[in-house]
Amino acid sequence: MNTLFLKTIGFSVVLGLSCASVLAATSSDFVDAATEAGIAEVVAGNLAMEKSKNPDITAFAQQMVTDHTRANQMLGDIARKHDISVPNEAAVTDKVKKVILEWRDESFDRSYLNNQVDAHEKAVELFSKEASSSDTAELKAFASDVLPKLEHHLQQAKQLQAKYGQKE
């Protein structure tokens, strides 16, 4: 297996770690998964704005940072109100950075877009489940409110992926 493939899979795993509990049974599981995914989106988006020279990709990355920062703040407020702990932002940030900083510059855009598709597919699944079955009204409303934005992000990521390179 080539190194790029392993790095791409590694980043997918990092972004997917947080969505691994799509079948989560508790509100706390959803908060953990959604928070980790949101932090990963912000970190990856900031790095994409720094490393990419493609204006379409940097504009998309800026939107990811803005939208996911806002959603992370809203989710944190709801979690604190219900006395649900949230994952440590610094630890998640470090985990994500360790994987994506290894990418070579010439493959960054493709890797970023491929993983945006993977991460948003998992996030849509996670938020759909929470929106339909949460036992906490505020989390159900939050997931319902954020879900259309995540679906839109997925659509945008797929369009950019088609334009600038599919998975290898």
The parent domain of residue 91 ranges over 3-164
CATH code assigned at 101: 1.20.1260.10
Using DSSP, state whether 22 is helix, strand or coil.
Answer: coil
**Alpha carbons 86 and 29: distance in angstroms, whole number:** 10
Q: What is the pTM of this model?
A: 0.80
Question: For 136-162, what is each residue's pLDDT tens digit?
Answer: 999 999 999 999 999 999 999 999 999
Percent above pLDDT 90 for the chain: 58
- 8's tokens: 């791409």
Question: For 21-56, what is each residue's pLDDT tens digit?
Answer: 444 557 889 999 999 999 999 999 998 999 899 999
| Residue whose tokens read 């297996």 | 1
Give the chain's radius of gyration (CA, Å).
Answer: 15
Q: What is the domain count for the chain?
A: 1
Distances (CA, A) of 51 to 46, 57, 88, 152, 161: 9, 10, 25, 24, 17
Using DSSP, state whether 159 is helix, strand or coil.
Answer: helix
